[in-house]
């Protein structure tokens, strides 16, 4: 049971001690280098031609996200494509067995949510000039406002945490189920193929889930932005 | 008193039932819609996946609470 959370703790792997400073290389060094290398290799010109995988990703994201945005939202297309590619690559890198899953941590995903929420707040303030927070209701007059206004305010405040928890829980749930089934496989050493079949099925479901979570994050930013820009 | 923790964990993970029912509801209406109007299949698929992601998140909030209880309390 101690091995279940090994994928989600970042601990130092290599320590070089000098007289003044210690140089630490963390567990999370490997996925960070992997993602820089993969992002550089997919989106760069090599021998005057673009990588077809990068071309595929960019065309697909721009086509799907620009069809649901009007003219004023087009300026946010770069933010949405970067969030989509970052989350997609980080999720897929975290699927490999003994590599630290970056998006499985609550801290990293809530920071992504805070980035998204701050862009929403700032565009709202720039468009409607601070009236956004105090008038965010649907034309409800009078007494019902006292009940509805706190609910609307809370549902706006909780957005970064909901985005963060959604991504972290989806990624970490798959990993934890795999670790529990592996533990079971170790104990039932004669009928090991029953948990093994389940692990294969869960892996397939997890790959689909990674792509879906990246898509859902970008779709949510689109909808929240379109609510604000009106 | 440590064993009472496991009862709480088991009770709080019943909430995934609601998420499962919700996702079944969404995809059953997707199948109905495709049967009525096969030309609008792409738009219905997009909306179904968005809805599935949102309802799954609610179930996973409860799962996260049960994980917190069993390991960090």
Q: Contacts of residue B56 in chain A, CB cutoff 8 Å?
A: 170
Q: Which of A105, A68, A79 is nearest to A90 (CA)?
A: A105
**Range with top average pLDDT, A5-14, A133-142, A160-169:** A160-169
Q: Contacts of residue A162 in chain B, CB cutoff 8 Å?
A: 57
Q: How far is it, in rounded angstroms, from Cα A216 to Cα A218?
A: 5
DSSP state of A73: G
Better-predicted residue by pLDDT, B72 or A57: A57
Q: What is the pLDDT of residue A124?
A: 82
pLDDT category at A190 given cuts 50, 70, 90 is confident
Q: Which residues contact A48 (CB under 8 A, 6 or more apart)?
A: none
Q: What is the pLDDT of residue A3?
A: 63
Kindly determine whether residue A165 and residue B61, on different chains, have CB atoms separated by under 8 Å. Answer: yes
Residue A142 has pLDDT above 80, yes or no: no
Residue of B nearest to A166 (CA): B57
Q: How far is it, in rounded angstroms, from Cα A157 to Cα A60?
A: 32
Lowest mean pLDDT among A10-14, A65-69, A78-82: A65-69
Considering the entire predicted model, what is its pTM? 0.86
Q: What is the pLDDT of residues A204-227, one digit of tens each?
A: 999 988 888 888 888 888 888 888
Better-predicted residue by pLDDT, A2 or A209: A209
Q: Contacts of residue A213 in chain B, CB cutoff 8 Å?
A: 53
ipTM of the complex: 0.80
Nearest-CA distance from A130 to chain B in Å?
Answer: 29
Kindly determine whether residue A216 and residue B61, on different chains, have CB atoms separated by under 8 Å. Answer: no
Check CB contact of A212 with chain B, cutoff 8 Å: yes
Q: What is the pLDDT of residue A132?
A: 61
Residues above pLDDT 90, as percent of chain A: 26
- The values of phi and psi at residue A197, to 5°, are -65, -40
Kindly determine whether residue B57 and residue A213, on different chains, have CB atoms separated by under 8 Å. Answer: no
Q: Contacts of residue B53 in chain A, CB cutoff 8 Å?
A: 166, 212-213, 215-216
DSSP state of A143: T
């Amino acid at each position: 049971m101690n091995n279940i959370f090994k994928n989600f703790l970042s601990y130092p792997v290599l320590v070089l001690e000098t007289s003044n400073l210690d140089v630490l290389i963390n567990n999370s060094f490997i996925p960070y280098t992997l993602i820089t290398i993969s992002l550089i290799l997919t989106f760069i010109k090599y021998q005057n031609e673009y990588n077809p995988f990068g071309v595929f990703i960019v065309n697909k994201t721009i086509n799907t996200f620009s069809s649901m945005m009007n003219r004023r939202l087009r300026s946010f297309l770069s933010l949405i494509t970067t969030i989509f590619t970052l989350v997609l690559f980080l999720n897929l890198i975290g699927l490999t067995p003994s590599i630290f899953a970056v998006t499985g941590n609550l801290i990293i995903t809530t920071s992504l949510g805070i980035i998204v929420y701050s862009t929403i707040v700032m565009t709202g303030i720039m468009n409607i000039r601070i009236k956004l927070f105090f008038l965010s209701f649907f034309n409800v007059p009078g007494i019902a406002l006292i009940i509805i206004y706190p609910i609307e305010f809370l549902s706006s405040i909780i957005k970064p945490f909901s985005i963060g928890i959604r991504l972290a829980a989806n990624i970490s749930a798959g990993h934890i189920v795999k670790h529990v089934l592996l533990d079971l496989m170790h104990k039932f050493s004669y009928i090991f193929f029953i948990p093994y079949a389940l692990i294969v099925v869960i892996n397939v479901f997890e790959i689909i889930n990674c792509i879906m979570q990246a898509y859902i994050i970008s779709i949510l930013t689109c909808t929240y932005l379109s609510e604000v820009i009106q | 008193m440590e064993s009472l923790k496991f009862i709480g964990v088991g009770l709080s993970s019943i909430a995934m039932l609601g998420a499962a029912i919700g996702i079944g509801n969404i995809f059953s209406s997707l199948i109905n819609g495709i049967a009525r109007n096969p030309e609008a299949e792409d738009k219905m698929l997009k909306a179904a996946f968005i809805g599935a992601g949102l309802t799954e998140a609610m179930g996973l909030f409860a799962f996260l609470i049960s994980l917190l209880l069993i390991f960090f309390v």
